[in-house]
Structure 1
Amino acid sequence: MHRIGYLLTDGFQMLALGTQSIFEFANAGLEQPFYQVEQYAMEAGGVRSSMGVTVSCKPISEAGRLDTLIVLGATDPLAMPAPANLVGFLREAPLWPRVAGICTGAFMLAEAGLLDGRRVTTHWAYGRILQQRHPNASVEEDRIYLVDGPVWTSAGMTAGLDMVLALVEKDLGNDVARTVAHKMVMHQRRSGGQTQHSELLQLSPKSDRIQNALSYARKNLHRALGVEELAASASLSPRQFSRVFTAETGQSPARALEGMRLEAARLMIEQSRHPLEIIARETGFRDRRHLREAFVRGFGVAPQSLRRESRV
């Protein structure tokens, strides 16, 4: 039996607790349950979530040896910092075989020194703050989740589901993880190297004209697209288009177009076996080298590294 302990503090996010459903469905598909999941806190009793729901917990001092400890974060880790006794416990306890922090749970792990010298992530809104407060950690603030040795960290909200599904895949294999994802009406998990944001969602233009131009660009990424062509799709002059586009999205058309190309290329790398030369051509990059340069600039990793990670 693989013992998993969820460590809760007041103000924890309910959605993070919902990741337990992944372990539940994993057990349901096996002849014998593999996971035993329990809630813990520093003291026995009820722990109040950010929504006001109280969850009964056992004292972590009585947990014994856990195979995986998962620390849940608070909605606002600045307003509700990690309790000193919890940080002390994490700092003094021997490292469990696997430790994970969902969302801002990374702050508690960092306070205890468990993230020193490791690549980690957290909710995008708190990534820079985590890095400033804990310079010995290497915070990659735009990743879905990261694995560095026995330490796993995820971004916020639904990214916790991706990370926990990856835990199941590591423990029980891809077939079990795929079955769990299907039961939970999830896509197969997003890879850890994936950006936390969708380029189109991040742009979020206000007018239909600019939205139409973005839709046109997305359908024609395989071609060279200039401002004149995009402006024509929005029924604007190139000058008007550039001005309105930048005002509504906060980006120039050229920068936004490269972001869309990168996102399309990332999806093809993760979800297909096409050679990088074909992916570069289909997403509008000049060649494989141009794709790699844009990837390193945009994601901090080479396309080959992302493909290896997604296959693992």
Structure 2
Amino acid sequence: MNGYRILGIAFISFAIISCGKNDLSQDNLGTGEEGKNGTSPGPAPENKVPELSIWHWGSEKRPYGINNVIMDEARMSETIDSYIQNKVTRVYGGYSKIPAHPIQKENLAKWNRKLKQLGIKSIYLIGNEQWIYPENRQMMIDYILEYYVKFNLSVDVDAKLQGLHLDLEPHQLKEWSVASIHRKRELLYLLKDTYRDLRLTLLHYGMEKDEIMADIPTWFDEMSAIGWASEIEKYNWFNDTMNYINGFTIMAYELASIPTIVQRTNWERNNFKANIQIGLDADEIGRIWNSKSAIINALREINVQTRAPIAVHNYTTFMEQ
């Protein structure tokens, strides 16, 4: 990485004190792939919800995966129209390695300019749970330098990516299912260190204003699930984490009850002033949610009851319904 490379974890020692298309109104190393077969988008119903953040993954097969959208002018316009009608304000884009591709990066820059002109943030969506392990941390830093930092240093201000959205889930590690409670708690501390190292990387390159958001499940605050020694320890973990990230998107997945979703996100919302979003999964339509209308109604009702910002995964699925 030459001048862009950060020399190992020694750098870290400088610690710091992260639908029909119009239904809503609102590689292993961060591949941006979501991997389902494509279908054609359908008509748009009338249901609306407030301003929306979206996970918009890439896909090799689905035409409205974000990697395919930004490479096709017609799809780009169609998708942006959908964003506008659905009041999308934040796009967590699975752009994968496009930012380093000599030709495709120009399409990404054009896309980012279009979104910024509309007041929509284009944010780089990445994740590899293996980065949590200290021995893989330099690999993570190198990846961020190659596909985020270098891109942002090479384009004009309106074409820049505006932050990172981290899909780093320690519970996806092979060891999690057999790990002791003590080990699970250790893994969460490693996750916090990972957030720290990413924030330090951005700071080192003068990107202190770039936001970092992170996905978490609904149960990181549960004493029995993580083995927190006390309420104070749990609070301190979350509070310390807020030194490095701007907020969490709580993945309220596998929960079909709105009261349950509200209750399971209550602790984070009540204890922290950071950006705490509540996200539902459109890929659960037909399984957890009876229909697209049902998940739209749920998003609206959750926002009404909590006044929390809302998010939906995966926007490609909404566009294909």
User: Taking structure 1 as the reference length, what is the TM-score of the superposition?
Assistant: 0.31
Structure ID, larger Rg? 1
Structure of greater relative contact order (alpha carbons < 8 Å, 6+ residues apart): 2
TM-score (norm 2): 0.30
